[in-house]
Amino acid sequence: MAAWKELHEIVTVAEPHPKVVKFVEEYLKPGSKVLDLGCGKGRHSLYCAQKGIKVWAVDIESNCLEVLKKEVGKSGLTSSIDIKQSDIRGLPYENDFFDAVITVNVINHGYWEDVKGFFSEMKRVLKPGGLIFAIVVPREFLETVMVPKTREVEKGTFIGLGVIDGDVAHHVLTEEEVRELLEGYDILKLENFKEFSMWIKKEVTHMEIIARNPR
């Protein structure tokens, strides 16, 4: 957990991602139950709660959650955001609980088996008809972050990337892998986009995923 603590102390992004804002405006309504998966310091939790959405915020790093708790208290949103520390590979929530899961630049961290586990847990806690909104890193992300020390430790999984958390394993997803992970879902959006990353101070390629759980 020390690596994540150091990462969040170095960089803070306070504003909600514009694509999260658009997703919330188009798909969610007040009273929706939303999981902010890998919430960090809670920029998306706070935004959703301000829109009347009930939020469950989960992250493995306790220092981030302490920052979020203070912000929640200052904002008067205590009754709208439930905060828990947990490994996202085993979420402390019951089956079929959430209307939506929002996760931004989180579920690439790990090996292929970890990524499959993240998607399995998201499906478990989603209600029938529930939505996944995710921003992840695709293979094209490698074009701007590979450095001489980068090595592929299994197919599609890299360590030593030229980013702040580059020593953590990153599995960079192909469209085929995403479709495999979302088998049985209605895929509403699956496309790459470019944006300037405040974390690594350069333009990178990300992938936006919106999918509905039909079960």
| Vertex 106 angle, CA 98 and 205, to 5° | 120
Annotation: CATH topology of 2-140+172-212 = Rossmann fold (3.40.50)
What residue ranges do the domains of the chain occupy? 2-140+172-212
Structure tokens at 31: 């009273």
Is 1's pLDDT higher than 90? Answer: no
pLDDT above 90 covers a percentage of the chain that reads 85
114-132 pLDDT per residue, tens = 999 999 999 999 999 999 9
Residue 12 is predicted with a pLDDT of: 55
Structure tokens at 110: 């790990």
Residue with tokens 């929706």: 32
Q: Which of 69-73, 156-160, 199-203 has the lowest mean pLDDT?
A: 199-203
**In the predicted model, what is the mean pLDDT of the chain?**
92
- Global pTM reads 0.92
How many Å apart are CA 131 and CA 53, to the nearest integer?
14
Q: How confident is the model at residue 4 (pLDDT cuts 50, 70, 90)?
A: very low
Pair 118, 107: CB distance under 8 Å: yes
Tell me whether strands 81-85 and 98-104 are parallel, antiparallel or unpaired: unpaired
